[in-house]
Amino acid sequence: MSSTIVSLTDIHKHFGSNHVLDGLNFAVESGECVGLLGHNGAGKSTLMNILAGTLAIDSGEMRIGDRKVAAHSVNDAHLSGIRCVFQELSLCPNLTVAENVRVLHHGLSGWGWRKRAARLITEKLDEIFPDHGIRSDAVTSDLTLTQLQMVEIARAFTEVDVPVKLVLLDEPTSSLDSTTADQLLNYVQTATARQQAVILISHMLGEIVRAADRSVVMRDGRVVATFNRGATKNELVAAMGNVAAETHGSAPARTSNTGELRVDLAVKGERVTARKGEIIGLAGLAGHGQTEVLLEVFEQARRGSSIANGTVAFVAGDRVRDGVFPSWSIGANLSISATPRLSRAGFISLESEAALGQAWRERVRIKTMDMNQPILSLSGGNQQKVLFARALAADADIVLMDDPLRGVDIGTKLEVYRLIQSEAEQGRTFLWYSTELDELVYCDRVYVFRSGHVTGCFSADEFSEDKVIKASFEEVAL
């Protein structure tokens, strides 16, 4: 017996002159998992914020159950059983896991609240992610990114006084490794079986195909296609409006390289080497030492040691934390690493800087008319392109990439892959940490990491996804 949990009819939403939602019709029934797909800028986040109560609709009708809702607030959403797990984590780092549960539930106070909160979160974590190993009295800032995501997801499913009817998950597996992602997708099935509903926003088409009962594709602020379970990845991609679909696996054959050795770092179990013109992949489950290797190479290169020979540039994966300078323009963000080259006696030549910006805007296809616009006016994918351009404009011998394409739309990804290949052909060395197996086909050599050790090293001919996965899970005696 299913009933409509929430329905949106002809919703319009503007941000200034930007028509973000343009006649959106969307509904969720209990007991179903709805996959939500679309390019960056299609309106998915806005839709999610409207359901969560953090944004108001400009026009249209919103109903929760049978009730027509005029002004939907965050508290309304909570009381209606709607829970959201946003991409940016909503945990307080200074509080413990149990204390963060209290933050979500207004009714969790009074004598013994701490024990109740601890029990709630531990039970839910056990239910969704068996063998999670997370203590409820752990301070949140001590947890890894994966654990944080697990806690946030589990917390969303906890119930104190209001039953959970609908859970929105925005890119929930972006920080999870394959085991926990698997556990989550299994749990989605369990949840829908007991008549809860889940909205799953994901760029991972494999996940959508597996978990969603119904897939909704958004484009330009409205729903353009709906598929039932059984649709193929290609059908979904085609509906999103991207012509260049699956081109993975068509990377050019990598010839063996005898260029100068640029990186020679001893990591437990192996030496990670990289030559001029090579693209080296760092693979494995998320958070197993890959970023540490990148940062070590960065340090060594800056110090001018023999371990990393040459100038170095870094492309951040978490652009808010490690990359973007929010007060600056696009051009200033792009040129910052190149400023020593653009200046004489410490004074920057504005003409050279502008020329640099124009050149890279065209090369990387940054969607803006004016490089003097603030960087935050760009979409996430385009901001990521600027960070790439920054690293490449620095004209460094070694470019380190910290899983920069996580959560980026497929169009941007393909453009960046092309860029990496062409730069490598001209002699640049890339050290590329990626959590997506598809991307590793572009690499000359892949090192697989587990618990800070290198458990596998595959050259381009030896490479296969199965081998990488196997090495990712190989137990390492610590």
The residues of the shown chain that bind other proteins, judged by CB under 8 A, are 52, 54, 73-75, 78, 84, 86, 88-95, 99-100, 102-104, 106, 108-110, 113-114, 141, 298, 313-314, 316, 321-328, 332, 336-337, 339-340, 343, 346-348, 350, 390, 394
User: 277 and 424 in contact (C-beta within 8 Å)?
Assistant: yes
How big is the chain, counted in residues?
Answer: 478
What would the two tokens of residue 123 be?
Answer: 């039970």
Least CB distance to other proteins at residue 247 (A): 30
Least CB distance to other proteins at residue 84 (A): 8
Burial class of 17 by CB neighbour count within 10 A (0 to 12, 13 to 18, 19+):
exposed
| Residue closer to other proteins, measured from CB, 73 or 247 | 73
| Residue closer to other proteins, measured from CB, 97 or 410 | 97
Burial class of 244 by CB neighbour count within 10 A (0 to 12, 13 to 18, 19+):
exposed
Least CB distance to other proteins at residue 197 (A): 20
Least CB distance to other proteins at residue 394 (A): 6
* The residue to which tokens 């301070």 are assigned: 139
DSSP state of 213: S
C-alpha closest to that of 445 among 415, 426, 467: 467
Cα→Cα distances 175→1, 144, 149, 195, Å: 35, 9, 7, 27
Distance, in Å, from the CA atom of 314 to the CA atom of 337, rounded to the nearest integer, reads: 10
Least CB distance to other proteins at residue 222 (A): 25
C-alpha closest to that of 179 among 450, 464, 448, 473: 473
| Residue closer to other proteins, measured from CB, 31 or 404 | 404
| Residue closer to other proteins, measured from CB, 53 or 381 | 53
User: 211 and 189 in contact (C-beta within 8 Å)?
Assistant: yes
C-alpha closest to that of 157 among 64, 82, 79, 51: 82
Least CB distance to other proteins at residue 181 (A): 23
| Residue closer to other proteins, measured from CB, 257 or 339 | 339
Least CB distance to other proteins at residue 308 (A): 14
Instruction: Give residue 56's Cα distance to chain centre.
Output: 26
Least CB distance to other proteins at residue 403 (A): 14
| Residue closer to other proteins, measured from CB, 375 or 408 | 375
Cα→Cα distances 194→33, 155, 197, Å: 12, 18, 9
| Residue closer to other proteins, measured from CB, 195 or 349 | 349
User: 375 and 386 in contact (C-beta within 8 Å)?
Assistant: yes
| Residue closer to other proteins, measured from CB, 330 or 460 | 330
Distance, in Å, from the CA atom of 187 to the CA atom of 178, rounded to the nearest integer, reads: 14
